């Protein structure tokens, strides 16, 4: 997550989920943001002023009449200072007040003056959540252009019942903050991304695969979603989680298609590709697959010292899609090489009819499979070459998006 230099105003109202907000403040600060806090009076029953002040490094604004800085009025200076305000937890009381312009305490007065992006994470008892007044207020707030409204999650509630009313976890709130702050340069773009390894089945208990973890492809999917794209991620088996933000009345998410073999990956891509404006083929697709899948476990015979497998080539997804590419479609491929890197990458870009190829070399330490970092060179079919230093896969994803997808 990347919030370097951002000013974030955290507004806390009086629900039990307030005990999670110190963790949110830490997450935001770790991502590089500066954080200030405003609360309702009741919120301080759940989390102390001292905790919030210590973690944020600033005095907490909870009392309209106790001036923190004698020369300013905080309910105006805080919205001026902030790039974004997040209200978490937002109680039924605060939601209903905010929707109607009621400004009778530090938090709601500050909200009323806030014209920049606001993220709201409601939390309350399920009956209060479903009350017609709360639902109407949520609908009102969700229509305001500067507001990104998270839905409540379902689960165990503080009152002992189970239902819809839990606050979303702080990592989802933090992702939503980054989403609300990111310019939507890929709005209305359909993007297809492949990620991870493929598994080519040998018998009921074995497969052939590679070391790909999918980190690069998932980072790309996240970067594109953050910029407003409609992302379809066709993923081989990985341990990664796909980003999903449960917003009120809609889910902002990466559409995930789980596949195993190269053939399955191709079939998914084939159906999505015609409507994709941009396709990024990041998966480490097997080039060969067992010619026959044994229906029983292949046994070792006594005295056997070697075993020969018959393999057939798989379909080259990049080349097949590249051949069908329309002029208004962009296809980006990857090349992971161990020798004659640039030469091989250029040859692949041409053979597969790609617009760009992202080259990484296994000779660079910290690049390629499994690492959290990568070092890439982006080559374009009009002869441009851009070299980048070692950086996190999140940063590499940003670079790939800005150098290949944005005009």
Tell me which residues are annotated as active site.
159
Contact string (CB under 6 A) for ligand C5P, positions 279-298, x = contact: --x-x-x-x-----------
Nearer to ligand C5P, 121 or 359 (CB): 359
Nearer to ligand C5P, 181 or 359 (CB): 359
Nearer to ligand C5P, 29 or 325 (CB): 325
Nearer to ligand C5P, 148 or 194 (CB): 194
Q: Which residue has the tokens 């009076």?
A: 41
| Residue closest to ligand C5P, measured at CB | 317
Handedness of CA 161, 164, 166, 172 (dihedral sign): positive
Handedness of CA 223, 228, 232, 237 (dihedral sign): positive
Report the candidate in 103, 101, 107, 88 with the shortest Cα–Cα distance to residue 41.
107
Question: What angle (nearest 5°) sits at the alpha carbon of residue 285, between those of residues 281 and 289?
Answer: 155
341 forms part of the interface with ligand C5P (CB under 6 A): no
CB 332 within 8 A of CB 404: yes
DSSP E strands in 214-307: the ranges are: 230-235, 244-247, 250-253, 255-258, 278-281, 288-290
Classify residue 237 by its DSSP letter.
S
Contact string (CB under 6 A) for ligand C5P, positions 85-114, x = contact: ------------------------------
The CA distance from 152 to 11, in Å, is: 17
Report the candidate in 168, 82, 80, 161 with the shortest Cα–Cα distance to residue 126.
161
Contact string (CB under 6 A) for ligand C5P, positions 149-178, x = contact: ------------------------------
262 forms part of the interface with ligand C5P (CB under 6 A): yes
Nearer to ligand C5P, 16 or 330 (CB): 330
CB 320 within 8 A of CB 266: yes
Q: Which stretch binds ligand C5P (CB under 6 A): 167-175, 185-193, 277-285, 369-377?
A: 277-285
Shortest reach from residue 289's CB to ligand C5P, in Å:
9
220 forms part of the interface with ligand C5P (CB under 6 A): no
Can you tell me which of 111, 129, 207, 334 binds ligand C5P, judged by CB under 6 A?
334
348 forms part of the interface with ligand C5P (CB under 6 A): yes
Nearer to ligand C5P, 110 or 314 (CB): 314
Nearer to ligand C5P, 76 or 309 (CB): 309
Phi and psi angles of residue 34, each rounded to the nearest 5 degrees, phi first: -95, 140
333 forms part of the interface with ligand C5P (CB under 6 A): yes
Q: Which stretch binds ligand C5P (CB under 6 A): 48-56, 110-118, 302-310, 333-341?
A: 333-341
The CA distance from 396 to 314, in Å, is: 29
Shortest reach from residue 208's CB to ligand C5P, in Å:
13
Question: What angle (nearest 5°) sits at the alpha carbon of residue 87, between those of residues 81 and 92?
Answer: 145
Query: Which stretches within 159-235 are classed as H helix?
Result: 170-181, 215-226
Contact string (CB under 6 A) for ligand C5P, positions 303-332, x = contact: -----------x-xxx--------------
For ligand C5P (CB under 6 A), the number of binding residues is: 14
Nearer to ligand C5P, 194 or 235 (CB): 194
CB 76 within 8 A of CB 64: no
Residues contacting 241, CB < 8 A, separation 6+ = none
> For residue 299, how many C-alpha atoms fall within 13 Å in the half-sphere facing its CB?
4
CB 350: neighbour CB atoms within 10 A? 12
Shortest reach from residue 281's CB to ligand C5P, in Å:
4
Contact string (CB under 6 A) for ligand C5P, positions 42-81, x = contact: ----------------------------------------
Q: What count of residues does the chain have?
A: 407
Classify residue 387 by its DSSP letter.
E
207 forms part of the interface with ligand C5P (CB under 6 A): no
Shortest reach from residue 396's CB to ligand C5P, in Å:
15
Shortest reach from residue 357's CB to ligand C5P, in Å:
7
**Which positions touch ligand C5P (CB under 6 A)?**
194, 262, 281, 283, 285, 287, 314, 316-318, 333-335, 348
């Amino acid at each position: 997550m990347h919030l370097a230099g951002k000013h974030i105003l955290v507004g806390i109202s009086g629900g039990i989920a307030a005990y999670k907000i110190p963790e949110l403040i830490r997450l935001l600060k770790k991502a590089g943001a500066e954080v200030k806090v405003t609360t309702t009076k009741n919120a301080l029953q759940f989390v102390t002023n001292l905790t919030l002040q210590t973690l944020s490094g600033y005095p907490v604004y909870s009392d309209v009449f106790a001036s923190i800085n004698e020369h300013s009025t905080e309910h105006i200076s805080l919205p001026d200072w902030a790039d974004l305000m997040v209200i978490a937890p937002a109680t039924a009381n605060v939601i209903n007040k905010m929707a109607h312009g009621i400004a009778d305490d530090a938090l709601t007065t500050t909200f009323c003056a806030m014209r920049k992006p606001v993220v709201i994470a409601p939390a309350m008892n399920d009956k209060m959540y479903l009350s017609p007044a709360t639902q109407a207020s949520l609908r009102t707030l969700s229509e305001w252009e500067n507001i990104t409204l998270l839905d409540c999650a379902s689960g165990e509630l503080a009152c002992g019942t189970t239902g819809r009313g839990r606050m979303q976890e702080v990592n989802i709130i933090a992702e939503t903050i980054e989403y609300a702050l990111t310019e939507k340069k890929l709005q209305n773009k359909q993007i297809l991304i492949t990620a991870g390894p493929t598994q080519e089945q040998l018998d009921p208990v074995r497969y052939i695969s590679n070391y790909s973890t999918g980190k690069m492809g998932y980072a790309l999917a996240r970067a594109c979603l953050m910029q407003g794209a409609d992302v379809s991620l066709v993923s081989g088996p990985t341990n990664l989680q796909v980003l999903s933000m449960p917003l009120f009345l809609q889910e902002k998410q990466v559409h995930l298609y789980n596949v195993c073999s190269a053939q399955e990956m191709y079939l998914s891509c084939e159906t999505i590709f015609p409507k994709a404006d941009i396709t990024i083929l990041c998966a480490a697709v097997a080039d060969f697959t067992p010619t026959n899948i044994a229906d029983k476990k292949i046994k070792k015979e006594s005295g056997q010292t070697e075993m020969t497998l018959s393999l057939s080539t798989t379909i080259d997804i990049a080349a097949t899609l590249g051949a069908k590419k329309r002029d208004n479609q962009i296809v980006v491929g990857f090349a992971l090489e161990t020798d004659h890197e640039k030469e091989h990458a250029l040859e692949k870009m041409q053979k597969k009819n790609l617009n760009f190829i992202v080259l990484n070399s296994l000779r660079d330490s910290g690049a390629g499979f499994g690492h959290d970092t990568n070092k890439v060179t982006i080559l374009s079919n009009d002869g441009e070459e851009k070299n980048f230093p070692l950086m996190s896969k999140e940063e590499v994803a940003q670079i790939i998006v800005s150098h290949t997808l944005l005009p």
